[in-house]
Amino acid sequence: MSAPGISLAAGRARSVLPGFRLSLGFTLVYLASLVLIPLVALLLRPFELPLPELWDAITAPRVLSALRLSFGMALAAALIDAVFGLIIAWVLVRYRFPGKALLDAVIDLPFALPTAVAGIALSTLYAPNGWLGSALMEYGIRVAYTPWGVLVAMVFIALPFTVRTIQPVLAELGRDSEEAAATLGATRLQIIGRVVLPALLPAILTGVALAFARAAGEYGSIIFIAGNLPNISEIAPLLIVINLEQYDYAGAAAVGVVMLGASFIMLLALNALQSWAAKRR
């Protein structure tokens, strides 16, 4: 979608359709009052603190370790989901097998399942006496109530983002260019590496960015399985909640601003990715 540089008035004059002012007006008012103004409140709030104090609030060891955990594990989860999301999308688009429609539908479970439900289910599954937890314990691996629990929950909630961004692009790719590569002498491996994956790259990166943004901000599914030990398995969103419960609004806002900043950066990155992908179409 491009936004031609025409003025509002010109756009209005060009169209005979009614309702432009009304629909745009409502859109802007609704968007501004429910989303934008509250967000601005968050952006301004931390600066009621003197700057050194704000800096101290953000760089406190507990805050830093929570941010590191949230963003680090989110990145790891996004990359894991990129690899498996690519495989799942490939299987769904390229292969024919019984039960394919079911596999396709199941991918959206994390969208449809409330995060709290996912949280208690994963926690029960990976607890030392749970189905998977007890099996893993035999190998000395603890997942629940450790940082690995954070990773598991993030992998769960972010998977649909990678699958659902790669899948339609792969379906549209067609086999023409692969056939062309084969007639030009490329091996199957070269076809995948030089033709298919580069063509999918914008979609893969978009999926990773979406998965990362979702995982970094995730709260509901993680707090049940993480154990929430300060400095070890305490995620940044939980720190906001704890600060709020202690009426430390400025402290909560400081963490919130960092997270919101990350959201904005991801949004910009996604937009850049989109225009890059559009250019190559």
210 vs 212: CA distance, rounded Å: 5
203 vs 169: CA distance, rounded Å: 7
Q: Is 139 in the site for other proteins (CB under 8 A)?
A: no
The binding track of 190-209 with respect to other proteins, each residue x by CB under 8 A or -, is: xx--xx--xx-x--------
End-to-end Cα separation, the chain, in angstroms: 13
For the beta carbon of residue 190, count every other beta carbon within 10 angstroms. 13
Q: How far is the CB of 232 from other proteins (least distance, A)?
A: 19
Which listed residue (64, 75, 79, 266) binds other proteins by CB under 8 A? Answer: 266
Residues 218-247 that bind other proteins (CB under 8 A): 218-220, 224, 237-238, 240-241, 244
CA 254 to chain centroid: 22
Q: How far is the CB of 65 from other proteins (least distance, A)?
A: 17
CA 207 to chain centroid: 8
33 vs 90: CA distance, rounded Å: 42
Residues 147-176 that bind other proteins (CB under 8 A): 152, 155-156, 159, 164, 167-168, 171, 175-176
All residues at 6 or more sequence positions from 268 whose CB lies less than 8 Å from its CB, including other chains? none
Q: Is 186 in the site for other proteins (CB under 8 A)?
A: yes
For the CA atoms of 76, 80, 85, 88, what is the dihedral angle to 10 degrees? -170
Q: Is 59 in the site for other proteins (CB under 8 A)?
A: no
Q: Is 251 in the site for other proteins (CB under 8 A)?
A: no
Residues 74-133 that bind other proteins (CB under 8 A): 84, 87-88, 90-95, 97, 101, 103-118, 120-122, 124-125, 130-132
